[in-house]
Structure 1
């Protein structure tokens, strides 16, 4: 019988990376086969069953098999629609949309705008996250305020931004409606909680004795933060920025209310152009061109976003031990 510290099949000679690659290859082949015969439902059962068999072969513990099987059900719910989405794309339409200047402007705005929102979220969120990690009176109230955008409907978030910063709001001389500033404010509103919470977890995971040792050796609080705390938490900070950026990329409701169309400086054009944020653009394409054209635009956006996300994850997945969660 296998125990919690043993496995039924040693991975020493095979390697976990090779196992993962083999499992993925089998899944791809199984999906391709079931899709080719018009039975994608069969793949759902295959994925669940193959996960259970794999867990049994390499572990044998009934608990591991159970949790792996239950987890695979969720993976089917998440992965199968994505697989079908990719498989049903028409290459000719993708190429046509990839050469469309409107799509180029959409991609630029869809990356640049969320990047600004992520930078703003980190610039002001990292100090707040550090305060949360240290604790202060009334912290629960402030935490609730930070997390509020997570439960506010996104169209409501856009209306809140207009009330707060639009005409008659806090900064009456700042143009918010239909502007880049308004779009970044809307994105920051919905994405800041991800930056703050991920960064706080990174700070909280740091051993207090390291900061204490820095202080008793004469370092100021700022020097301790700059030389000890922040470097140990840098991967968690980057994770918070990535999550904030990803959340801003996907935002639709708040941006559609505040800045449905945005004028911004576009370097290839050498001046200002007007475009829409990516989710808004995809929705407009769906209304005008149907599912095939909107799917092609969504495929391009998804591909670019995935490449950027994977690149950032790769660059922040070094072997150094930090307080991050990457």
Structure 2
């Protein structure tokens, strides 16, 4: 019997994980040293050379070494600004901002509103993605419309949302009066509980407008990722289910949906991440919003979406103030991103 450890076994996985951890640790230590001697550019060179060396050590061949080296250049271009941002902060100022209620409200809005936008994008985008995956006449026009928000300037997106939904827009007829016993429905619009309220559909300076603006720019990610998930499902499996007596709904529920769930989850995560980073459209539609914080039982207070809040801090307090808040937003976003993606995939893998 062969004693050779097979690829994908726990031993190999452990060894690979240990190697990756060691490599990342070396990179962080190298950056810390280069930053400490005020030579961050030297770290960029070290990162590229060390990546090529690892590829050579793992016997990837000349092509593999070249690919890893060139790819590491892009990774450095992405990672170095973030490392410099975090390393340049005054820890005392970061702690001060972390205890500031105004920062708490901004971070809360930057999780809550993007979550609503992502849920809306997935709920409405998945059916559209399924239709696109199956194909129909005029599909190119619909695909263009879905992808258009990706190329529309963000300020134009904000103006488009205002023209469509504010004032005498498309949904000005949506006015709802909710008595106190049903006031829990007001949670979606951040209104106090137990008092009842009269809701007029308004987007300028409201949470509704912020969510609509975020949905406008993030929906393409949800639709396209879900569509790729549906297209990856082997059509022969769906055909087999139909021949065994399953109707369309049963085939979707038992075959298509389970096999494409990764695409849907990935689309939701990407839509959330895109909404978190949105600035231009939100700044035009809902620069300031009123929120109930802490949720449910707090008081109403004015705040901004975190990217807008950071911009305001930059214009009023300078680079240090805005950098401290940006570091907190970065840490929160990375933490939520990793937790969501880790919990979303049963095998702990990444799509």
TM-score when normalising by structure 1: 0.92
Residue of structure 2 in register with 1:19 after alignment: 19
Using the alignment, how far apart are the partners of 1:29 and 1:202 within structure 2?
A: 39
From 239, 242, 246, give the equivalent of 1:219: 246
Residue of structure 2 in register with 1:113 after alignment: 113
Q: Please state if 1:311 is matched with 2:314.
A: no
Q: Secondary structure at the match of 2:106?
A: helix
**Change in 2 beyond 3 A, CA 1:47/1:320:** closer
Q: Secondary structure at the match of 1:69?
A: helix
Using the alignment, how far apart are the partners of 2:13 and 2:119 within structure 1?
A: 44
Q: Deviations over 1:297-325 (max 9, x none)?
A: 1111111111110001111232399xxx7
Q: Secondary structure at the match of 2:335?
A: helix
Q: Please state if 1:188 is matched with 2:212.
A: no
Structure 1: gaps spanning 5 or more residues: 1-10
Q: Deviations over 1:47-83 (max 9, x none)?
A: 1111111111112400000001100111111111111
Q: Secondary structure at the match of 1:263?
A: strand
Using the alignment, how far apart are the partners of 1:213 and 1:221 within structure 2?
A: 12
Moved more, 305-314 or 206-215: 206-215
**Cα offset for 1:135?**
0.4
The number of residues matched between the two structures is 313
Q: Please state if 1:177 is matched with 2:221.
A: no
Aligned pairs for 1:81-120 (under 5 A) are 81-120=81-120
Using the alignment, how far apart are the partners of 1:83 and 1:269 within structure 2?
A: 38
Using the alignment, how far apart are the partners of 2:124 and 2:13 within structure 1?
A: 48
Using the alignment, how far apart are the partners of 1:239 and 1:80 within structure 2?
A: 26
The answer as to whether partners of 2:158 and 2:280 remain within 8 angstroms in 1 is: yes
**Cα offset for 1:117?**
0.3
**Change in 2 beyond 3 A, CA 1:60/1:270:** closer
TM-score when normalising by structure 2: 0.86
RMSD: 1.7
Q: Secondary structure at the match of 2:318?
A: helix
Residue of structure 1 in register with 2:156 after alignment: 156
Q: Secondary structure at the match of 1:177?
A: coil
Aligned pairs for 1:1-326 (under 5 A) are 15-173=15-173, 174-266=201-293, 267=295, 270-319=298-347, 326=351
Moved more, 272-281 or 118-127: 272-281
Structure 2: gaps spanning 5 or more residues: 1-10, 174-200
Q: Secondary structure at the match of 1:264?
A: strand
